[in-house]
Amino acid sequence: DDNHMFFWAFESRNDPRNDPIILWLQGGPGGSSIMAGGLMELGACKFDQDLPLPLAGTFNSTIHNPYAWNANATVIFVDQPLDVGYSYGKRRVKRLNDAMDDLYAFLVRLFAARPEWGSRDFYIAGESYGGSWVPALGATIHRMQTTICLRGIMIGNGLVDQRTQRRGNWETACTSSGSGRAEPIFNETQCNHLAASVPRCEALMQACEDSGRDVNVCNLSEDWCFANGFDLLEQTPWNGYDLRINCTATPELCNRPSAAMLAWVESDEVRDHLGVDVARGPAQLVSQQVYKDFVANAEMGYPSHQWVTELLEAGVRVLVYAGNRDWMCTAPGLRLFVDNLVWTGNGPFRSAEYRQLYRETLGLPAAGGEAAVGYHKRHSLLSFVEIEAAGHMVPMAQPEVAQAMFKGWLTGSL
């Protein structure tokens, strides 16, 4: 059908014949899994942002990543939907369900080409809008067939349930514990405005859900909630993707890769080495067209919590983790999400205590006298981890801790 989905797989450095397989899905929607997740976060090699010119942007611009997640698993990064990163096709993908149809078809073909993978444990992980990609794909696999051995999903700082998660914005911006500094991020006037907007925003998001995803209702709800919530951060110098960073540019620009990295992924030598189809035009870290199409079709405001519930009830493990210095998908908001998620284990999970997470628990040596790295709690199939001193992209901000968390969850200790 002339659709071309590009992936980059890294075999496990430990036991590639038996270790599990992880599929990583970047958010956005429209973010490149290979460029962001692979080259900036958890891939086997990372782009060396510190390489001096003129070497930066040349073929040898990547370095070994000691904290790559393929230390104990085979990791697959796929650029999706179509027209994201190195993937392309003749049609535009504008809805989540259409993207999942393509992604599921991709996996079926991939596993048919690698039949030995069929017996391996399979996990899906992602961040940001991955809070929709990941459970949606998991539910698709669960419903369609059993040849892929889906064992669990991981959602990092994910957009899963905006109506619930937005309640966490006030704690993040208006308390010192949320801001991680002596003073809150917002002043008293801003905090009062944010607090007053929460009930209205929740009612609007509920109206979106009740409308059955009516585009006009959902987009009006989304616009109002952004203007009276998220957009308040633009009155401050702080980076919405990492509130530790004082950023004078707009938040979505602060974590963009350097021009050298973009030149690297576009170089003929790299594209030829990776087998990128010559018909593919310039690749982007984030496809603005895909993002705009999903927004226009009200895909951003509609929840995906129902698929998380479905997977838990089907015996699939779920890890939700969050960097606590993120504004886009806040840690307090995700705490509210997991505590209020409807499933048979809700009562015991909700009543369980959040406990400090120590480096020792993760099998890491103490560093500089700092032993605690966050908080966690778990009941049955559901785990939640909150990571200190990390923003929207935990593996980039705290690579050692993120890798240890990943290993711990795979082995069942978290």
Place of tokens 């535009």: 92
Whether 49 has a pLDDT exceeding 80, the answer reads no
135 closest CA partner among 367, 384, 348, 308: 308
Residue 267: per-residue pLDDT = 83
pLDDT tens string 172-203: 999 987 656 668 999 999 999 999 999 999 99
Whether 8 has a pLDDT exceeding 60, the answer reads yes
Arithmetic mean of pLDDT, 129-144: 96
Question: What's the alpha-carbon Rg for the chain, to the nearest Å?
Answer: 20
Domains of the chain: 7-161+259-411 (3.40.50.1820), 168-251 (1.10.287)
Identify the DSSP state of 206.
H
> Exposed, middle or buried: residue 16 (CB in 10 Å: 0-12, 13-18, 19+)?
middle
63, 251, 339, 397 from 198: Cα distances, Å: 45, 22, 19, 29
- What's the longest Cα–Cα distance across the chain? 60
Q: 305 catalytic, yes or no?
A: no
CA dihedral 312, 291, 295, 165 (to 10 degrees): 40
Residue 270: per-residue pLDDT = 87
> Could you give the percent of the chain with pLDDT greater than 90?
67
Name the active-site residue from 128, 132, 179, 221. 128
Helix axis angle, 215-227 relative to 188-210, nearest 10°?
Answer: 170
Place of tokens 């611009």: 61
pLDDT tens string 302-318: 899 999 999 999 999 99
CA 40/CA 315 separation, integer angstroms: 32
85 closest CA partner among 6, 3, 1: 6
pLDDT band at 50 (very low <50, low <70, confident <90, very high): low
pLDDT band at 282 (very low <50, low <70, confident <90, very high): confident
Residue 256: per-residue pLDDT = 58
Whether 401 has a pLDDT exceeding 90, the answer reads yes
pLDDT tens string 222-265: 899 989 888 899 888 888 889 988 876 544 446 555 677 788 88
Residue 252: per-residue pLDDT = 46
CA 254/CA 241 separation, integer angstroms: 8
Name the active-site residue from 161, 326, 376, 383. 326
Contacting residues for 3 by C-beta, under 8 A, at least 6 apart: 82, 88, 89, 90, 91, 102
CA 345/CA 364 separation, integer angstroms: 30
CA 387/CA 170 separation, integer angstroms: 19
Mean pLDDT of the chain: 90
Arithmetic mean of pLDDT, 351-371: 86
Q: 128 catalytic, yes or no?
A: yes
119-150 as b/e: b if 16+ CB within 10 A: ebbbbbbbbbbbbbbbbbbbbbbbeeeeebeb
Q: 101 catalytic, yes or no?
A: no
Arithmetic mean of pLDDT, 1-29: 94
Contacting residues for 414 by C-beta, under 8 A, at least 6 apart: 319, 376, 378, 383, 385, 405, 408
Place of tokens 């009200």: 298
pTM: 0.94
Arithmetic mean of pLDDT, 152-165: 96
Name the active-site residue from 142, 305, 376, 392. 392
